Amino acid sequence: MTRRRPHASNEDGSTLLLIIFYGFLALSLVLVGLSATSLYLEHKRLLSLADGASLAGSEAFTLEAVQVGVGGPRPQLRSDDVSAAVDEYLRLVPHDSFLALSVTSAASADGQSASVTLRSWWRPPVLTLVVPDGVPLEVTVVSRAVFH
């Protein structure tokens, strides 16, 4: 009685290629998820800064600019005052972590609300081949002036 040797398989190393491929795929997904989260948080931070600047701009009126009408007292905003208030707000609030932060517009179109548009640049925390080197971010916030 002779024993047969099991047939040698010709699939040696194919598991290693799959492990390398899936490891690369998993690493890419983690880096893309990290970048997407970073972009989302940077957008929310810029939106929060623009919200505060818009609020400061909507409160940039003097008591002489308040008009009394049928609906009660209403403040009248001027674009120059809104722009100056936004610049002052950005001077006082720390915002050094934003890249190339600029005020695109700060004005009052209707005299009742302040519109502020901020622009910044986002860079991913880790540079990869599947994520761009950076994305411009722009947010616009409108707040209404109310006098009580």
In a domain, 4, yes or no: no
Closest to 86 measured CA to CA, from 75, 64, 102: 102
| Angle made by CA atoms 27, 29, 30, in degrees to the nearest 5 | 65
Count of structural domains within the chain: 1
φ, ψ (nearest 5 deg) of residue 40:
-60, -45
- What the block records as the tokens of 118 is 């901020």
Model-level pTM? 0.77
**Residue 37, domain extent:** 14-60+77-144
In a domain, 70, yes or no: no
Q: What pLDDT digit, counting tens, does each position of 83-133 carry? A: 999 999 999 988 888 888 999 998 888 888 889 999 999 988 887 777 788
In a domain, 2, yes or no: no
Closest to 61 measured CA to CA, from 47, 80, 48, 44: 80
Q: What pLDDT digit, counting tens, does each position of 32-78 carry? A: 899 899 999 999 999 999 999 999 888 887 777 677 777 777 778 88
CB 74 within 8 A of CB 147: yes
In a domain, 9, yes or no: no
In a domain, 1, yes or no: no
* Average of per-residue pLDDT across 10-27: 82
In a domain, 103, yes or no: yes
